[in-house]
Amino acid sequence: MGNNKSTVTSRYLLFVGVGSFFLAILFTLLAETFSSKLNNIVLSLFFLLFIIFINIVADVVGTAVTAASHVPFNAKAAKRVEGASNGLQLIRNADKVANIANDVIGDITTTVSGALGISIVVQVLRAGLQFDQFWLNVLFTALISVTIVTGKAAGKKIALSHPEEVIFMVGKFLARLERVTGYSPFQKRRIKSKKGG
């Protein structure tokens, strides 16, 4: 298992609250753009599937980080394997990572996917297709729900069966992102160590 000690602070809670607010606005604006402004059913469906995909992937990461062991990452980090150090930091902050992945991203994308489903129903009706709005809403809501639930169930199986592999993949992604952009969520610690030297 990962680190059992909570790393959540009051400052982190404030960060999550403010971050969730702006993420919700961002996802909602994107959903509105695809559904209302573009008024294209195909693009709206594509964006809906993309939102659901983010939801499932976030759940996989949030589940895996709480089940992963830091032991293999210590060995890989000592050998300077790309992504190992980032993966180790994810495990050391497992409660924060799980909260952001499962709660923040998961809840926001679930809400947005539901709203986007309603927008798609409106587009279908505006296109002149003869459907009862009530039953079409019920059908879309059910399809969205079953896709998310089934996807998360399959994702949890992967996350719990191969937690270290999942976190190592995320670690490698973060390492490459850091190399390209120069940004890292764990950058503050590295800056302090340089100043100390």
Structure tokens at 145: 């729900």
pLDDT at 1: 47
Question: Which residue carries 């495990």 as its tokens?
Answer: 91
In a domain? residue 1: no
Structure tokens at 68: 């992963």
Res. 197 pLDDT band, cuts 50 70 90: very low
Res. 4 pLDDT band, cuts 50 70 90: low
Whether the per-residue pLDDT at 41 is higher than 90: the answer is no
In a domain? residue 21: yes
In a domain? residue 5: no
Contacts with 51 (C-beta within 8 Å, 6 or more apart), sequence order: 27, 31, 109, 112, 113, 116
20 within 8 A of 112, measured Cβ to Cβ? no
Q: Mind listing the pLDDT tens digit for each residue in 5-29?
A: 666 778 878 888 888 888 888 888 8
In a domain? residue 90: yes
Structure tokens at 115: 């709203």
Whether the per-residue pLDDT at 52 is higher than 80: the answer is yes
In a domain? residue 27: yes
Q: Mind listing the pLDDT tens digit for each residue in 53-85?
A: 999 999 999 999 999 999 999 989 899 999 999
Residues of the chain with pLDDT > 70: what percent? Answer: 87
Q: Mind listing the pLDDT tens digit for each residue in 171-190?
A: 999 999 888 888 777 665 44
pLDDT at 189: 47
Total structural domains in the chain? 1
Res. 192 pLDDT band, cuts 50 70 90: very low
113 within 8 A of 52, measured Cβ to Cβ? yes
In a domain? residue 2: no
- Residue of 53, 46, 48, 59 lying closest to 114 (CA atoms): 48
Q: Mind listing the pLDDT tens digit for each residue in 98-154?
A: 999 999 999 999 988 988 888 888 888 888 777 888 899 899 999 999 999 999 999
102-124 exposure pattern, b = at least 16 Cβ within 10 A, e = fewer = bebbbebbbebbbbbbbbbbbbb
In a domain? residue 165: yes
Domain hosting residue 14, numbered range? 10-192
C-alpha distance from residue 160 to each of 30, 56, 66, 153, 195 (Å): 32, 14, 9, 11, 39
Which comes out higher in pLDDT, residue 26 or 1?
26
C-alpha to C-alpha distance for 45 and 50, rounded to whole angstroms: 9
In a domain? residue 4: no
C-alpha to C-alpha distance for 128 and 138, rounded to whole angstroms: 19
